[in-house]
Structure 1
Amino acid sequence: MTAGLPRSEVPAAFDAGAFGYDRLVGLNPGYHKHLRLSAARLELPDGGRGLRVLDAGCGTGASTAALLKVAPHAEIVAFDASSAMIERARRKGFPDRVRFLHSSMEDLDPAGLGGSFDAVLAAYLIRNLDDPDAGLRKLRGLLRPGGRLAVHEYSVADSRLARTLWSSVAWGIIIPLGKVTTRDTTLYRHLWRSVLAFDGVSAFRQRMAANGFEHVTECGMSGWQRDVVHTFLGTRPLPADGD
């Protein structure tokens, strides 16, 4: 099983699917609820007042809306490699404290982000990177010491039942609906393949720890996405005494 499209082709696939993307994910029971749950698991105090939060790989803004729901007072910076997805997000009337940037993870310039962040939400991003380890290290570097990362991601490698369910849903629902809504299945066939090729839960927890995160945990979801979609949480360590 290949991992899907080459990284260089992924943004163009999302560009092509952008106009029908919101309608398609809106048909997925639990999609928005589970994004809000991952955002809530960051445990941002006081509605995010005085905090800066990064939405890494924001797409059309569904994850941004999830962050805004749980942290209505936070400053949110959101970026995505797909120009069409970012444009749709910008049209949704987010408040001024939400800023969208068009950038890939690889080309992201920390200097243009306005400083470090108290928390990061990365939804459906790490799986689409050529080098997940470099991506995790970059996100760690954008966090303040003690800041938390929530990775909202598919992971089915550890469960035969989850793999079977995922393929059934992908070919029975997602890919056919993608054909109807966007007249192209490239993005959704990539989604199917990339999920099957991605780390299992144990391997991804180990990957986060190996790239400098501590207190790494995993939390599941409800409904059909149980054992399919997960929240992975990790913290950038505080400096050791004397550092």
Structure 2
Amino acid sequence: MTDKHSDTTHFGYQTVATKDKAGKVAEVFHSVAAKYDIMNDLMSMGIHRLWKRQTIASSGVRKGHRVLDLAGGTGDLTAKFSELVGDTGQVILGDINDSMLKVGREKLRNLGLVSNIEYVQMNAEALPFPDNSVDVITIAFGLRNVTDKDKALRSMYRILKPGGRLLVLEFSKPTHESLSKLYDFYSFNVLPTMGQLVANDSESYKYLAESIRMHPDQDTLKAMMVEAGFEQVDYQNMTGGIVALHRGFKY
């Protein structure tokens, strides 16, 4: 976590200037954007689709809603939300990285999803929307890359309508030591090798593994959401805690 008054923060296991982190994260995602979907399937053996399906099921999204799919990348959640909100609703695919947005836009247009989707490049720490203007926010595998997570959570809380909800799908801390050891071996040995073979980029996938380890665990993130103003905050561990889905409401 970034100290609010600190000039440095973490980038994976490295310590970098706080002002430089967003640029370094951007370089990673510029590099991996073109192969992002295929690597997601390979890295998770397809299980990421089940994690996202559970997120959608927990979102409460319905016709007419305005949904922000933050750090939405290549648009997996946006595609489903587009169907759920219908012609009277809107889905905003927001990402800080223009390479990811371009891949997402092309993919969704190829699926014929056009009318109710907007694409906006944005920083999670300063969301470009009025107060109380969004029904649901999802951020899947994006919060760990944000420099100031507390500031981002407050920004999300600000733009949610009363009664709205935030869902954070993110890698977390495995609940069993044996699984944790196996996961560490996979993350730091298999993952970078896979990244090199498929995306010709082992360093970006090394960073992704490190960023997961530096992300707050389940209870810490829950406390951060409460601190930002969210109520009825809970989380659901999936795949033994490798991933957790946090949910909080604004009243």
| TM surpasses 0.5 | yes
Q: Do structure 1's residue 226 and structure 2's residue 246 form an aligned pair?
A: no
Partner of 2:27: 12
User: How many residues get paired?
Assistant: 227
- Across the aligned residues of Structure 1 and Structure 2, the Cα RMSD in angstroms comes to 2.1
Question: SS of 1:17's equivalent?
Answer: helix
SS in 1 for 2:56: helix
1:83 maps onto 2:98 in alignment? yes
Same amino acid, percent of matched pairs:
25
Aligned equivalents of 2:40 and 2:217: distance in 1? 23
Name 2:144's counterpart in structure 1: 127
- Of 203, 207, 211, the residue aligned with 2:220 is 203
Equivalent pair of 2:172/2:218 in contact (CA under 8 Å): yes
Segments of structure 1 that go 5 or more residues without pairing to the other structure are 238-243
Match for residue 194 of structure 1?
A: 211
Q: 1:170 to 1:98 in 2, by over 3 A?
A: same
Aligned to 1:240: none
Q: Runs in 1 of length 4+ with deviation above 6 angstroms?
A: none
Q: Distance in 2 between matches of 1:78 and 1:54?
A: 6
Q: What is the rounded CA distance, in whole Å, between the counterparts of 2:136 and 2:195 in structure 1?
A: 32
TM-score by length of 1: 0.86
Aligned equivalent of 2:76, options 33, 55, 62: 62
- Separation in 1 of the partners of 2:199 and 2:175? 32
User: Are residues 1:96 and 2:115 paired?
Assistant: yes
Q: Secondary structure at the match of 2:114?
A: coil
Structure 2 counterpart of 1:235, which letter?
Answer: F
Task: Tell me the distance in 2 between the aligned counterparts of 1:161 and 1:95.
Answer: 45
Distance 2:56 2:65 in 1: 14
Distance 1:152 1:159, change over 3 A: same
- Cα distance in 1 for residues equivalent to 2:180 and 2:123: 29
Following superposition of structure 1 onto structure 2, how do residues 107-186 of structure 1 map, counting pairs within 5 Å? 107-110=126-129, 116-156=133-173, 160-186=177-203
Point out where structure 2 has 5 or more consecutive residues left out of the alignment.
1-9, 15-20
Give 1:99 shift. Answer: 1.0
Measured after TM superposition, the shift of residue 107 of structure 1 is: 4.9
